[in-house]
Amino acid sequence: MLQISFRVLFCVVLLGRAALADEAIPAPLTFEAHVRPILKAHCWHCHGEGEVLKGSLDLRQARRLVRGGDTGTALVPGQSGESLIVERIAAGEMPPGTKKVSAAELATLRAWIDQGSKTARPEPEQFIPESDFTDEERNFWAFRPVSRPATPKVRQTEHRHRPVSFGGTGTPQPGILPRGRPRDAHPPALF
Its domain, for residue 51, covers 27-143
In a domain, 99, yes or no: yes
CA dist., res. 191 & res. 63, Å (int): 60
In a domain, 126, yes or no: yes
Residue 191 has pLDDT above 60, yes or no: no
What mean pLDDT value characterizes the chain? 77
Average pLDDT of span 15-36: 69
Residue 131 has pLDDT above 70, yes or no: no
In a domain, 32, yes or no: yes
Q: Taking a C-beta distance cutoff of 8 angstroms, is the pair 124, 73 a contact?
A: no
In a domain, 86, yes or no: yes
Q: Taking a C-beta distance cutoff of 8 angstroms, is the pair 57, 47 a contact?
A: yes
Task: Please list the residues that pair with 72 across neighbouring strands.
Answer: 69
Regarding pTM above 0.85, the answer is no
Q: How many domains in the chain? A: 1
Instruction: Compute, in degrees rounded to 10, the torsion defined by CA atoms 14, 16, 21, 25.
Output: 160
In a domain, 166, yes or no: no
How does residue 75 score in pLDDT terms, banded at 50, 70 and 90? Answer: very high
* pLDDT at residue 122, as a whole number: 87
Q: Higher pLDDT residue, 111 or 168?
A: 111
How does residue 29 score in pLDDT terms, banded at 50, 70 and 90? Answer: very high
- H/E stretch holding 24: helix 2-24
* pLDDT at residue 13, as a whole number: 47
* pLDDT at residue 21, as a whole number: 47
In a domain, 102, yes or no: yes
